[in-house]
Homo-oligomer: A and B are copies of this chain.
Amino acid sequence: MSAVVDRLATLAQLGSHENGIDRALATVQERAAREQFAAWARERGYALAQDTVGNLFARRSGLREGARCVLVGSHLDTVPTGGAFDGAYGVVGALCALEALDARSIGTEHPVEAVAWAGEEGARFPLGCLGSSVFTGAYEERHALALRDASGTSLGEALASAETGLLEGVPMREDARLAAYLELHVEQGPVLEREGIALGIVTAIAGQRRYRVTVDGSSGHAGTVPMARRGDALMSAAEIVLAVERAALVAGETVVTVGTFAVEPNAPNVIPGRATFSVDVRAADDARIDAVEGALRTSTSDVTERRRVTASVERLESRAPAPMDPKLRAAVARAIASIGERAIDVPSGAGHDAMCLSRVAPAAMIFVPSIGGRSHVAQEETAPRDLELGVEALVASIVEVDKFVI
């Protein structure tokens, strides 16, 4: 078994339960994954460093004095019923890439660091990409440490604990100057598998907006209120969700999801007086997201005029699209061609740490296929040969990127 497959199997034991893997930031299980990462790095003599929110770095020195580092990595935490590949693959893949450079006696001008970002999933503390947000200055460290989980424990408290906290004997990271950022990740969608291609070069990480929509009508007896007199919140909501779906299809390269939906009072013989649902829109450019938001607002206002209901659209979150760096993407493409492999451009609908890194350095991502497009489930899987190919693509990309970045 190759090192990448073997190590992913080792990490998959940490936090494993009957419905998947639960390895939330600053838990015993997640700390064990950081310890494992550190153990692998120490075996190879890479210099370890961490920071105050739990990001962990393993550094392979560069040849040129004072060169900025090329950062390569992903995250070790999971959603509560996560799989073995999301995040972990990019971390293990980065370490394996460093080792491949050693094994092939390839020196790089820049130091190359494998990084395990803390708390990308936002599963425990209410902030996605927590570690990379703090690292890049998008979110203040003191605010991050003050975030509390559902039981009231703050991140600062959890990271101060010997069982769940920062690693002993690992110094704080000092060098923050970046040359570039590379992230290897499973696609979490069906595109590569459908195209029969093992490698994808991410064009952009989609922007995302999330909304909560509430429609208030009039509850009433299912048998006695004529159709023309109803203010049926469910029927109104059904029109709105189909309108946003149509808008996403018209916009193209846009996805919209109504993932939660509830009616009140939710009784078979009572007309729903209230319907509440979520809307999640993602696209690689804001114009497409704007178009769907426009349709959401128009259709909502339309039903309030026709259907004896009132409605509100609340925007909960807005994340701008993060295009990957064109020169870095080209370098990755050259690298993949240099090893005789094919790759296609793909967008990333899911968020990644590369989103934050792209704000402060050139960033690129490489995707490998997810079997059946499955993600955030125990059944998440990528074929071993695709995992290995992804690492080879990453090694070649590091070499190529090292040639031209400052």
Q: Hey, which bits of chain A sit against chain B, CB under 8 A?
A: 187-191, 194, 206, 208, 210, 220-227, 229, 232, 234-235, 237-239, 241-242, 245, 248-249, 254-263, 266-272, 275, 278, 280, 282, 348-351, 373-376
Contact = CB atoms under 8 A, between A and B. Distances in A.
A53 to B, nearest CB: 23
B221 A349 contact: yes
Copy count, this protein chain? 2
Residue in A210, A222, A272, A376 with the greatest tally of chain B CB atoms within 10 Å? A222
Contacts of A275: 261
Nearest to A376: B221
A232 B261 CA distance: 13
B278 A268 contact: yes
A268 B263 contact: no
Nearest to A194: B229
B373 A225 contact: yes
Contact of A269 (B225, B257, B263, B267): B257
A371 to B, nearest CB: 13
A237 B187 CA distance: 29
19 contacts: A188-B224, A189-B224, A190-B226, A190-B229, A220-B374, A221-B375, A222-B257, A222-B259, A223-B280, A224-B349, A224-B375, A227-B254, A234-B241, A234-B258, A235-B258, A257-B268, A259-B267, A260-B263, A261-B266
A276 B270 CA distance: 16
A150 B257 CA distance: 38
Nearest to A244: B235
B373 A220 contact: yes
Given A234-B258, A258-B235, A260-B267, A223 B241 contact: no
Contact of A260 (B255, B268, B350, B374): B268
A262 B238 CA distance: 13
A223 B373 CA distance: 11
Nearest to A257: B222
Given A268-B210, A280-B269, A234 B255 contact: no
A242 B245 contact: no
A308 to B, nearest CB: 12
Contacts of A221: 188-189, 349-350, 373, 375-376
